[in-house]
Each structure stands twice: as structure tokens, then as C-alpha cells.
Structure 1
Amino acid sequence: TKVNSEVTMGVTLHRSVTSSLRHHLLFSLSLRSISSSASHLCTSQQHPKTLIPPPPAVPPPPPSPSPSPSQIHINLSPNPNRSPRTRTPLEQQFESWVEKLKPGFTPADVDEALRAQSDPDLALDIFRWTAQQRGYKHNHVSYLTMIQIAVSGKRFRQAETLIDEVIAGACSASTPLYNSMIKFCCGRKFLFNRAFDVYKKMLKSEEAKPSLETYTLLLNSLLRKFNKLNVCYVYLHAVRSLTKQMKASGVIPDTFALNMIIKAYSKCLEVDEAIRVFREMGLYGCEPNAYTYCYLTKGLCEKGRVNQGLGFYKETRSKKLVPKSSTYMILICSLAMERRFEDAIDVVFDMLGNSMAPDLLTYKTLLEGLCRDGRGSDAFELLEELRKRDSLMNEKTYKTLLNGLHFLSRDS
């Protein structure tokens, strides 16, 4: 019990001492803060901060007195040092032609004014200016003249615009105008379909029916597409349709138009149709020419009907007509491949007699065909004879043919 009482007294004494020390520490800290605040206040009173006064306000300037009306003076006289703008020669010509076109001018007057212009741009300006005048409207004559001027002056974009206006109904229809439009469209790569749009418009028109020139232009444009055999069949249907429509409309074809039809059939190896058109030429009063026989001969040889092709060739020569060199060479190769060497040799000599010479491939087909057929000596003799007759055969061609014959003779 005595020990417990001593411990209790010690704890109580420790708490009292700790509490007194804590109060003493807080009191000393508060005194320090008060003294530092007082010293700072004294320092600020001894050295006060200098304040910069704001700048004085600047009074606005007094308004200037407005001048009286008598004091106002505007110089309207032109500057003598400034020269007036000179008009270009094109503007002067345009104004002179506008003055010549008196009020109430007609499409004939405009057509005369357009034809008198050497500059297509000036002609187009006159054409557009007259179209804006009250009471005037272009007709097919003025549109035809303007399209011809634009095409001859290589203003192709303007020509396309004019054609679009005509198709939209800007003027009355006429066959010469539509044929001129078709001719331009057929000559442009990307306007091929536009030409047939104009043709369809002609079929529906009562004033501008298709003529022989119309069908000739369209057939010629179609034949330009016949560059490959698989493409030929695509456009052959259009050729057939045009041929039927031409006959139905009462248009009588000429030799040139019929030759194009024969060429189209021959290109597609439709040789029976080509021969049928050839037989009909007399019904239209047309006489076959060298091109007619060439198309038939080439088509028959490519089809494999060489004997018929040779018959048309002989008919050509009987009429004193000379085939083209390509027809000669196709016929020679076709005869040589069928081992009809005598006929092929006769055609070669006839070709040389007309100042034309076969190419290297044609010579090789004939000479090497003879050599493979066991007639090597005849091939060598023929080569020497061809060298004498063909003035265009050079040394390189001769040696190439000779080496080929030696190679084949050695193997045989």
C-alpha cells in the first residue's frame, strides 16, 4: 500500500510539472510574435512606401470647325497627266461590227458578219451579243456558221457548247447543221456517243432527215473501232442497224458507203454477208473498185476460203485493177500454207511487176514452204530469181532467207 501511494504521488507530480512547462512555452511564443509585429510596424512607419500618382488626364482636342458650303471645292476636271485607256484592236473591231448591225438585223445579217471575221473569238462575241438583243433569235444558218468557225479555229470547247445548245432546241433543225455536228463529234474521241445522239434526233425530226452523208460519217466512225476481232462483233450490230435504217429511209448508198459495209463484214469474217452486199452493188448503180475486191479477198483468205479469195483476185486483175500490198501478201501466205506454190509464185511476180515487194515474213513463208515440201532446189532458184526482180531486197534480207534455206536443207 505504501508503494502504491508513492507511485500515485509521482505520477501526479509529473503531470503538474508537464502542464506548467507547456503553459510557459506557449506564453513565450506569444510574446515573440507580439514583439516581431511591433518591430515590423515601427519599420514601416519609419520608411513608408512611395505611391506613383496617376498621370493627369489629357483633354480631348477641340473639334475642328466644319467648313462652310462656300469653302467646299471638288475638283471634277480630269487629270491632264493621266492618259485614257486605249481600246484593244479586238474591242475596236467588235464595236465597229456592232455599229454596222442596225436595229432589226436578221439572222442573214449576223451570218454575214460572222463570216467576215478572221478571229474566231471575235465571231463568238458577236454571236453571243446578238443573241441577247431583244426580238432576235439565231436560226440553223447562224449556228452552222458559228460551229464551223469554232471548229476551224480549234475552239473545240466552244463548239461542244454550241452543239449542246442545238440539241437542247436553241434553233430550228436542218440536215447540214446536224451533219456538221455529227462530223465534229465523230472526229473527237470522247464525243462518239454524242454523234449518235444527234442521229437519233434526226430520225425524230421532220425537217432534218438523215442523208447519205449522215450514214457515211457514222459508218466511217464505227469502222475506226474495228481494231480487234473481239471488238468488231460489238460494233457490227450497229453497222447492221445503220444499213437497215438507211435502206428503210430510202437513202441510196454509193460505192464508198457499200465498201465500208463490206469491210465491216470482212473484218468480222462474215464473208457471206460481205459477198451478198457485193452482189447488191449493181442494184444501186454502183461499180466495185479495187477496195471492194481487196476487202473480199482478205476476208476470204482469213476465213480459210482461199480458193474464193484467189477468184476475186483474178477478177480484180481482169478489170485492170491493182490490189493493195497487204492483199497481195495475205493471198501469197494463204496459198503457200495450202501448198499451192505455183499460184503463190505467180502472185509474187505480179506483185513485183506492180512495183510492190513482199515483206520478209511473206518471203519466208513461201521459200521455207517449198523447202519443207521437198523442193529445196526450187526454193534456192526462186530466191535467186526474186533477188533479181526485187530491187528493194537488201543484202541483209537475202542472207537471212539464204541461211534459213540452208538450215532447212541440212535438217532434211
Structure 2
Amino acid sequence: MEKEGVVLDAVFYSSWICGYFKEGILKEAFRKHVMMIEKGVNPDTVSYTILIDGFAKEGNVEKAIGFLNEMKKDGLEPNLVTYTAIMRGFCKRGKLEEAWRVFERVVELGIEVDEMTYSTLIEGLCRIGDFDRVFGLLEEMEQKGIKVGVITYNTVINGLCKAGRTSEGEVISKNMEGDCFTYSTLLHGYIQEDNVVGMLETKRRLEEANVSMDVVMCNVLIKALFLLGALEDAYLIYKGMPERGLVVNSVTYCALIDGYCKAGRIDEALKLFDAYRSSSFDFSDVSYNCIILGLCANSMVDMAVEVFMELVNKGVCPNQVTYRALIKLIYKERNGEGVLEFLQQIGDMDPYIYNSVCSNAIYFLTKKGCSEAAFGVYLIMKKIGSSVTSKGYYLILKSLFSDQNRLLVPLMLNAFLKEYGISEPRIIKIAVRHLSGKDVTKCLCFLDKMKKKHACITIPTAVFEDLKKQGRVLDAHKLIKEVDGTRTVCDVFGYSIVVDRLCKEGYLNKALDLCVTMRKHGIPPNIVIYNSVINGLCDQGCFVQALRIFDSLEKIYLVPTVITYNSLITALSKEGYLEDAKRLLEKMVLQEFIPNTRVYNSLIDGYCKYGLLDEALELLSHFEKSLCKPDSFTVRALIDGCCRKGEMEMAREFYFEFKEKGILPDLLGYIYLIKGLVVKGRIKEASEAFEDMLQIQSITELIDRTVGSVVYPCKRSHGSRNLKVLYDTEAQRKVGSLTSHVVDLDSTSLNLDKADNLKMQSWSYDFEACYSLIASLCLEGEKEKANRVAKEMLL
């Protein structure tokens, strides 16, 4: 052009530079500016403003400020457009205070600001949600007589909708003549808020306004109509778009496909998806993801896999939500094996995407407890040379332990160590867990080596849980004793597991010693550990020591729990220390604890066993007034107490009273009642109780398991013949001959001496006559005594 005599002035270069900025080619725009300077063409205010605006719009406000300074050096004064461009750049970067200072500078210079300047600042304030200043600026515009146009109002409405304040945006829209953008923004805001009333109102206003819709408006409206359940109206909008001169795009299809899928109309969704695939639109994975999710929701696994494969073949990565949903569906329909087949099918896809899919499959399968299938995913990845993440290794190892599938643990551990080493703490914990399950000594050697490389190693609680399940409490004690509290540590949960198990297995001294060790390591025992110790002391009859520990809890600011009181009250009641047990119950109530059924039952049972029936009945009245409800043990204890006192009528009253409430005694309760009635000669009533007992499935199953068909032959047949022994005169005579022995032999007071005394008696009568004695011994766990009695009878 220069050769043809055309003079390239500042206007020409400015237009040229502006064109490059519109295309987003910033480097070329800057080169043309340099060329302009080299050609000796001096930039004017417009030239600099175009440069400043172009860089500011891209967020490069520092570059824009640089040109502003050059402009001033050249003796050119920035105008309102220039300053507005600088403000826009600061707003884009979220630097509102700097933008605000530029605005104040403009006012100080006496430059009259216009709507565009205010709109730029308002847009920036809307982005950060500072609506107080937004409304302040709108008020200021009105005071200065600056007309607020549609663009500014739309900016405020858009900001309010994004902030979840769509209803406020609608109020503003009613004071202006809205355009397509206004209604699109309001509809989209209500869609995000799932506000059906708001969507209906906006749709009504849109129809009344008779606004000419664009593609964006149609897409938003289609989505809103689907949410409102107006599927046919949404389809009509879609079909009417060509008549409006609008071209359907991929977003339109995505809205339609998604809406039909969520409405469960998968056939219509598939038709639209086929129409989209056969169209000439730019490819979009969004529609594919929508249809795959829809197919998954309708359990159409084969078609979902087919569409997924088509998407993969196009070289596009489905999003995580899509392939997670697909993996979930395949697992539901075909279990873990189906997931493995699917992963083998898509093995040719992009390695990066494939690794992501496999990692998600490992996460899902391990969460579902399918450790073997997760291990299968690992093998598939290794076969094609993919790398398993350290998290993937960890999840598989953790799952193998959870599923009790430990044969594969050494293999996975070795593979991890070869690839990543032993640096990760969570893998060290897995190694500790594995070694402790094999040999605690080897585990301790491993920990010694790890101490030199790591600042601190925490022994996981799962290690002690495993050893507890394996019955290796002494190994657990050996391991936890090696904890030094500095380089190797254990949390309070680990200590509580070991202490509890030691107490229950009778290693009380070791448990107490471990409590001392805890304190040395700066871990004070909690109430759970104290409960275990108190319970252990009670089991060994050390009530004084147990009560001392209980009394000391207040001094160390620990509050006893219901379990604490329950352990003490149960043990004291069992051993006959009923006054102490009662005082603890009263203290428990004063401390605003609510005694549970087990606490009441323990004391009631204690009163009944020691002949204090009146006290038991008094406690029962308090029991029934509380929030707790009596159970079968309560009924058994009361029946036992009445039978001991010979109050059979009262025993029967309790039996029928609780029977009406749906509470029946357990097996021992029935045995007490039947024996008591037989001893009193009330055979008919005993037979009725016996018949009732045989109707309870749980009791008959218990008899099968505990006594067996030999000890309890009556169980082998049903009907009135079962009770023949109770009606038969000969049987009555035989039972009567046992009265002197049976009357004092309840299932809780039988001892070896009494069993031995029975050896001297004549066993000429049949076995069924003394079934209650042998049954009682078996039910109390005294099987050896029961065997001895049975042998004496048979010999």
C-alpha cells in the first residue's frame, strides 16, 4: 500500500491493531504498534486507548498501565474511555479497590462519567457480591441524572442470579423493559434454585413481553420447561426454532436429551441423540455424557457401553461422572467380573484417560468390598504397561485386609515397594498390619528399622483389632509394650482394645501395667479403658479395688458412663452385695443417668435370688415408671423369686401379666415355673406352661442346640403326647420321688456336691422323669456335671 502512495497514518494502524485484538491475537497487535513507532507514526489518544482496552480485556492490566504511562509521557491526556478500560482490567482481575480508586480519580479530574463507566464498576462489584455498593452506585446515577440502561440493569440482575438472589433480580426487571438476556438470566437463575413458581412467573412475563428469542433463550426455556414437567412444550420450542430463523446447536440437543432422560422417556432421548449424531454440528461430548447417564439410569447397560465406546473412539474423554455411573451400573448388573470385562473392552483408549477410568474402578470396587476384582483391575493395568497410583495400591491392600483375603497382600506389598519404596506412612501401616498377623517379633524388627528412617510411626488400631479377633492378646500386649511414645506411637483406641481384651481374658496385672505405660507416654486412660478395668476387677471378685477406681474417677475429671454403673451393679448384685448395688443405682439416678433395662434386671435378679422379693417388687415399680421396658430376663427373675418363696400363684400372675404385654420368659424362666408348679403338685398348670414354651421357636431352637435330642427327647414329637409323662400316674410318682432333690436344684444354684449326692439315689425310673435336672445343668454350661449324672442314670 505504501508503494502505491497510500499514507499509513495513526488511524490506519489503530484500526489494524483493533482487528487483531478482536481476533485475540495480542502479540501481533503489539507488533503492529512497534511497527507504527518504527515507521515514525506517533500514536494518538485513540491508538493508546485501543491498546489499553485490548490488554485490559484480556486481564493484562499491568501492560495496560504501562501504555497509560507512555501515553502521558507523550503529552496525551487519557479520556473517559481510556480510564474505563483501565477499570475494566482491574475488575477482571478482581482488584476492585484499585478500580474504585481509578473511578475516584476520574471524578477528581472533573471528567464527566457516563453509564458505561458505572456499568463497568457495577459488573466488577457484582462478581464479588458487594451489592450494597452496587445499589449505592445505581442511586448515585439517578441523582446525577444518568439514565440506567438495559445493559446496566442486566448486569445487576445477572449478578443477583449468580448469587442465588434471583427474586431480587426479578423485582428490578419489573421496573425496566427487559430483553432476551433479561429473561434468559432470570430463568437460568430460577433453574439453579429449583424454583418452580419463579420459572412459571418468568415464562408468563416472557410470553406477555413478546420478546424475540435467540438460541440461548430457547435453550434455557427448554431446560426450564423440562423441570416444570412440560415436556411437550419443550419439544415444541425445539421444533419451532427453524421457523424463528434460529439454528439448533449442541446445547439444545443436550438440554432435550437430558430432560427426556431424567423424565424416564429414554426412547425420545435416543431419537434426539440419533438426530444429533447425524447432524453437521460441531462434536460435543456433553450430549454423549447425557445419554450415557440416561441409559445408566434406565439400566440399559449394553447400549450405554456402546455409546461410551463410540465416544472413546472419537478420542474424547468422558467426564468422571459418566464413567463412574457406567461402572456402577455394570457392577450392579454383572458384578466385579463385568467391570473387568468392560475395562478390557476399552483397553485401546488414550492411556491417560484409561488410567483415570481404572483408578476410579479400583476406588469403586474396593468401596464395595470386591478386593479380588480390584486386584484384577491392577493386573489389567500392569498387562498393558499402565502405572497404578500409590493410592490405588493402598486401596487394594486395605480392601484385601477388610475382606480377610490376605494371600494377595504380600504380592501387592512387594509390587508397591518396587515401584514407590517404603516412604509413605499409610503403606508402613499396612506392612505393620501384615507382619503382625504373621509374627509379632518380625513386626518389631521392622519397626526398629523404620524408626531410623521416619520421625514417627503410628501403629494402626486395626493391628490390635486383628490380633484380638485371632485370640492373640499376649502378642498384642507384646507389640504395644514396645511403643516408646516418641518414635513409635499408638493412640488411645489401640490401648483401649488391648486393655479390654487383657481384662476379659484374666490378665488383669498386665492391663493395669499397660495403663501406667499409657500415662508415661502422655496418653491418659479414658473412661472406656477404666470401664474395662472395673469390669475385669469385678469378674475376679476384686470389688473393693473396683469401687476405689470408681470413686477416683471424679478426681481425674472423668465422668462414669452407664456401662460403668452397669458393670458394678451387676457384679455386686450377683455376689449378694445388694445394699451397695442399690446405693450405686441411686447415685446413678442422682447423676442424671438413665438406668437401662440391664441395670434394673441385675438388681431385681439379685433381690430374687437372695429371697428379697418385696424389694424386687418395689424396684420393679420404679422400673416400670422409667423409660425402660422389662424383658424376658425380668420375667424370669421375678418367676424365680416367687418360686423360691413358694409363691406359685404370684409367679403365675406375673407370667400372665407380662404375657398380655407381649413379654415372655426365656427358657430358664419356663423351667423355674414348670418345676415350681410340679413340686406343688399343680401338674395341669405345669403342662399348660410347658405347651406355651414349646410354641416359642427361639426356645425350641435353643433346646436343640444346647440339650440335644438325647437330653430332651420330648422335643422329637409334638402334640399332647409330649405331656403324657406329666399326666401319667406312674410318671407323677417318679417325679414325686425326685422332689426332695429337685426342689432345691434350680439352674443357678446347682453345684458339684449336689450332683454327686444324686449318684447315691436309685435311677430305676426312666430318663424323662429327671430331664429338668440334666437340662438345667446343660443350660448353665455345666455339661461335665450333666454327663456324670446321665452316666449314673444309665449304669
CA contact (8 A) 2:451 2:487 kept: no
Which of 413, 417, 422 is the aligned partner of 1:97? 417
Q: Give 1:210 shift.
A: 1.6
Q: Which residue of 1 aligns with 2:534?
A: 219
CA distance in structure 2 between the partners assigned to 1:172 and 1:117 by the alignment: 13
CA contact (8 A) 1:306 1:335 kept: yes
Cα deviation, 1:30-58, whole Å, max 9, x if unaligned, reads xxxxxxxxxxxxxxxxxxxxxxxxxxxxx
Amino acid at match of 1:161: K
Q: Give 1:238 shift.
A: 2.9
Q: Give 1:341 shift.
A: 3.5
Cα deviation, 1:187-242, whole Å, max 9, x if unaligned, reads 5x36432111112334x4472112111112223334444xxxxxx3xx22232122
CA distance in structure 2 between the partners assigned to 1:311 and 1:399 by the alignment: 40
CA contact (8 A) 1:297 1:312 kept: yes
Which of 538, 546, 554 is the aligned partner of 1:239? 546
Q: Give 1:254 shift.
A: 1.8
User: Structure 1 residues 111 and 238 mapped into 2: Cα distance closer, same or farther (>3 Å)?
Assistant: farther
User: Structure 1 residues 284 and 139 mapped into 2: Cα distance closer, same or farther (>3 Å)?
Assistant: farther
Structure showing greater relative contact order (alpha-carbon pairs closer than 8 Å, 6 or more residues apart): 1
Structure 1: runs of 5+ lacking an equivalent: 1-87, 226-231, 372-378
1:356 matches 2:659 = no
Which stretch has the larger CA shift, 153-162 or 259-268?
153-162
Amino acid at match of 1:338: K
Q: Give 1:349 shift.
A: 1.8
CA contact (8 A) 2:484 2:521 kept: no
Which of 524, 541, 556 is the aligned partner of 1:209? 524
Which stretch has the larger CA shift, 326-335 or 146-155?
146-155
CA contact (8 A) 2:643 2:672 kept: no
CA distance in structure 1 between the partners assigned to 2:443 and 2:572 by the alignment: 48
Q: Give 1:255 shift.
A: 1.5
CA distance in structure 1 between the partners assigned to 2:637 and 2:598 by the alignment: 15
CA contact (8 A) 1:94 1:126 kept: no
Which of 88, 102, 115 is the aligned partner of 2:430? 115
1:176 matches 2:493 = yes
Which of 346, 354, 374 is the aligned partner of 2:653? 346
Q: Give 1:307 shift.
A: 0.6
Q: Which residue of 2 aligns with 1:301?
A: 608
Q: Which residue of 1 aligns with 2:677?
A: 366
Q: Which residue of 1 aligns with 2:199?
A: none
Q: Give 1:302 shift.
A: 2.0
Q: Give 1:313 shift.
A: 2.7
Q: Give 1:143 shift.
A: 6.2
CA contact (8 A) 1:98 1:126 kept: no
CA contact (8 A) 1:143 1:162 kept: no
The alignment of Structure 1 onto Structure 2 pairs a total of residues equal to: 300
CA contact (8 A) 1:269 1:303 kept: yes
Cα deviation, 1:330-367, whole Å, max 9, x if unaligned, reads 42233234343432221122354424363334322235
Which of 585, 592, 595 is the aligned partner of 1:288? 595
- Which TM-score applies when normalising by structure 2? 0.33
Question: What is the 5 A alignment of 1:242-391?
Answer: 242-319=549-626, 321-353=628-660, 354-356=663-665, 358-369=669-680, 371=681, 379=682, 382-383=685-686, 386=689, 389-391=692-694
Which stretch has the larger CA shift, 324-333 or 258-267?
324-333
1:199 matches 2:508 = no
Structure 2: runs of 5+ lacking an equivalent: 1-407, 697-713, 715-719, 740-795
CA contact (8 A) 1:114 1:127 kept: no
Q: Give 1:271 shift.
A: 0.7
CA contact (8 A) 1:332 1:366 kept: no
**Partner secondary structure for residue 166 of structure 1:** coil
- Which TM-score applies when normalising by structure 1? 0.58
CA contact (8 A) 2:539 2:571 kept: no
Q: Which has the larger radius of gyration?
A: 1
CA distance in structure 2 between the partners assigned to 1:340 and 1:150 by the alignment: 51
User: Structure 1 residues 320 and 93 mapped into 2: Cα distance closer, same or farther (>3 Å)?
Assistant: closer
**Partner secondary structure for residue 209 of structure 1:** coil
Amino acid at match of 1:308: E
1:131 matches 2:454 = no
CA distance in structure 1 between the partners assigned to 2:463 and 2:633 by the alignment: 42
Cα deviation, 1:285-340, whole Å, max 9, x if unaligned, reads 32112111110111112222111112223443455755454543342233234343
Q: Which residue of 2 aligns with 1:185?
A: 502
